[in-house]
Each structure stands twice: as C-alpha cells, then as structure tokens.
Amino acid sequence: MLDHRNYKNILIFMTKLTVPLLLSALLCSATLARAEVPTLLIEARPISFSQPAEATVEAVRQATLAAQVAGRVVELNVDAGDRVTRGDVLLRIDAAEASQAVAGAEAGVAQAEAGRIKARSDYERTRSLFERKFVSKSALDQARAALDAADAQVRSAQAGRGQASTVVGYTRVVSPLTGVVAARHVEAGEMAQPGTQLLTVYDPAALRAVADVSQQRLTALGKLPLRASVELPDAGRWVEAATVTVLPAADERTHTVQVRVDLPAGTSGVVPGSYARVHFLSGERTRLVVPATAILRRGELTAVYVADGQGNFSLRQLRLGESVGSAEGIEVLAGLRSGETIALDPVQAGIAASTASRP
C-alpha cells in the first residue's frame, strides 16, 4: 500500500518528467508546422493587360419554333431539357381542318379537269365545223379561249391542292437541329394560331458570349482581330475565346457595338442566358500577382502571410486590383513588394504564426 507521502512524491516526479516532454513536443510541432507551410516567391512579371466587359452567353444555333397553322395541340413529345435530333417530331397539331382543306382542293382539281375535258371537246367540234365552213372564225376563237381558260382553271386547282397538302405538313413540328429543348411554350390541348411560339431548341456544342462595347472602348482595344478570354463566374473558370467578331453596325439608341466572342467547341457546364465577363486583351504590363488561394479575407480585411526568412510569418494587409486570368491570380496594387515570399496556405501560416508568438 502506498501511503500519502509516497503518492505525493510519485506525482511530483511525474510532473517533473512530463512538463519538459510537453514543452519539447510543442516546440517540435511549431517548428514542424512552420516547415510544412508551402510558400511562393512573388516577383513582378509581364502580364497580359485586359479590359473587362459584361456579357451574356447565347447559343450560336438556336431556333424558336412557331405554329404555321391553326389547330389544337394533340401530341407533345418533348419537354424542356430533353435532347433531340434533327428531324425528330416534337409536336403535332390537329390536322382535321387541314385534311378537309386537302379534300376540298382535290375536289376542285377534279371539277377543273372535268371542265377542261368539256372545253376541249367543244373546241374540237367547233374546229371541225369551221373547217367545213359551218361556223365562223369568231366561234372557233371563242372555243379556243374557253379551252385556255379551262387549262388555267386546272393549274389553279392543282396549285391549291399543293398548298393544302403543304399545310398538312405544318401540323407536324420537327426539330431543325440536333440539340436540347430550352423551353416549352405550350401545353397539350392548347389552341395554337399561326405565329404562336411552341418550342425553343438550341445546339449546346456552339456557344458564344455577347457583349455591348462602346465605340470609344472598341477604338482603345486596337486593331482587329481582337483577342479575348471569357470568365464564367457561375462555373468558376476561364476559357480562351475561339474567335472574336465585331458587328459592323452600332445600336442607334445605346451607341454601342455588339461583339460576339465564340467559346471553344464543346464547352460544357454553360447554358444560354448565363452571365459571363469578357476580358479583351490589349497589351502587356509588369504586374505583381498573388494566387487567390493565398489571400485571407476576414470582413473588410484582405491580407496575406509574409515569410520573414526565419520560418515565421506575419499578416500583412493588401490592396488588390483585378483578377488576372484563370490561373494567374489577383493583381496587388499595394502592400507587397517583388522578391518577398508569401504563404500559399493562409490557415497553416496563421497557426504557425500564432504558435511562434506564444511565450
């Protein structure tokens, strides 16, 4: 059995043995934490200078399908978001009225052909009588005119039949391209009139960002062709423009020129109507840039951890400019000099700095 004095001596011995070990472990962990913080040497370098402009993404190939005949929507095969192939039947309109029109046109053709047969027979008989001097030349001319009128009546009836047959084809609404249904504007059972919007289809493989740029800014960008990068904030990425097209006319109300910036073919994760920001490249200048992941933001504070060359870090506030490219970072306007080293992970650097400041 341990008495009270022996137990107390054991506690004192364990305390004397444990405290140095804990202090040593803390020092080692602090040193290890400082050693594991990744850093980056910041140097000023030439960066492409750009001028941003707000833009909207739109499809290069897009079609809004409208009704060409009056009728009730009796079949609706697709909905918004469905993929379609060129030639697919997307929607059907009741063809009863159009079919009746075709039947009427067929009857008109039959009637006109019967009239032509009679007019030809009358002409042949009148010509025979004229040759035998039983009728005058005037009677023969009248018979010939009646035959010509009958021929014209047949051609008119045949044209009406073709027009009616074409209208029947309008009751089947087919996709003009391969792509995606962007919107459905009608419901099954609704009455459609000529001009009623039915569906909107677009090709997601070809997209572009459209920006309205003032004439002064367009002049400042320099000679054509322009170069640009497109920032997609919703998707959190940048893409290089395939081509930049400046329309040759300005809007008479806003006095701006529309610029179409084509995205690379097959750009995914972007839909028409999305917000985009076009950065028109207009030369190079030397700038100081830090990675966005190295920046610490706390309320109104924007700072980075700067290494002092002895394994320690200190927090320094920065004044930042614009984002530079997709992987470049953000421009530093004040607070940092070329040749200084910053921590790439502000969380680890903060832990190391707080550990080093402890007594």
Could you please report the per-residue DSSP string of 259-304?
EEEEPPTT--S--TT-EEEEEEEEEEEEE-EE-GGG-EEETTEEEE
**Which two structure tokens, joined as six digits, stand for 50?**
């750009």
**Which two structure tokens, joined as six digits, stand for 347?**
């969380």
Structural domains of the chain sorted by starting position, each given as residue range(s) with its CATH number in brackets: 51-60+205-284 (2.40.30.170), 63-93+171-202 (2.40.50.100), 96-169 (1.10.287)
User: Measuring CA to CA, which residue among 288, 291, 327, 296 is closest to residue 313?
Assistant: 296
pTM score of the predicted model = 0.59
Q: Determine how many CB atoms are found less than 10 A away from the CB of residue 323.
A: 18
User: Measuring CA to CA, which residue among 315, 317, 313, 316 is closest to residue 353?
Assistant: 313
User: Measuring CA to CA, which residue among 174, 178, 177 is closest to residue 198?
Assistant: 174
User: Measuring CA to CA, which residue among 43, 80, 44, 63 is closest to residue 173?
Assistant: 63
Q: Determine how many CB atoms are found less than 10 A away from the CB of residue 107.
A: 12
The whole-angstrom separation of Cα 155 and Cα 140 is: 23
Task: Evaluate whether 272 touches 182 at the Cβ level (below 8 Å).
Answer: yes
DSSP class of 226: P
**Which two structure tokens, joined as six digits, stand for 227?**
């170069």
Structure-token match 């046109």, residue found: 105
Phi/psi-derived region of residue 335, left when phi > 0, alpha when psi is between -120 and 50, beta in every other case: left
Q: What is the pLDDT of residue 199?
A: 94
Q: What is the pLDDT of residue 28?
A: 46
SS3 332: strand
Q: What is the pLDDT of residue 163?
A: 74
The whole-angstrom separation of Cα 134 and Cα 143 is: 14
The whole-angstrom separation of Cα 159 and Cα 161 is: 5
Q: What is the pLDDT of residue 127?
A: 87
CB neighbour list of residue 357: distance below 8 Å, 6 or more residues apart: none
Q: What is the pLDDT of residue 348?
A: 79
The whole-angstrom separation of Cα 269 and Cα 179 is: 15
Q: What is the pLDDT of residue 22?
A: 44
Going across the sheet that includes 319-324, the strands are 289-290, 329-334, 319-324
State the burial class of residue 91 (Cβ atoms within 10 Å of its Cβ: 0-12, 13-18, 19+): buried
Q: What is the pLDDT of residue 328?
A: 63
Phi/psi-derived region of residue 325, left when phi > 0, alpha when psi is between -120 and 50, beta in every other case: left
State the burial class of residue 207 (Cβ atoms within 10 Å of its Cβ: 0-12, 13-18, 19+): buried
Q: From the first residue on, what is the mean pLDDT of each consecutive set of 10 residues in the chain (359 residues)?
A: 48 46 46 64 75 90 90 89 92 76 78 87 87 86 88 86 74 90 90 90 92 85 81 83 89 90 86 89 76 82 82 82 67 82 80 67
Q: What is the pLDDT of residue 315?
A: 84
Q: What is the pLDDT of residue 215?
A: 84
The whole-angstrom separation of Cα 66 and Cα 77 is: 16
291-297 CB contacts, 8 Å cutoff, 24+ apart: 291/40, 291/329, 291/330, 291/344, 292/323, 292/329, 292/330, 293/344, 293/345, 294/40, 294/329, 294/342, 294/343, 294/344, 294/345, 294/346, 295/320, 295/330, 295/346, 296/346, 296/350
Task: Evaluate whether 302 touches 320 at the Cβ level (below 8 Å).
Answer: yes
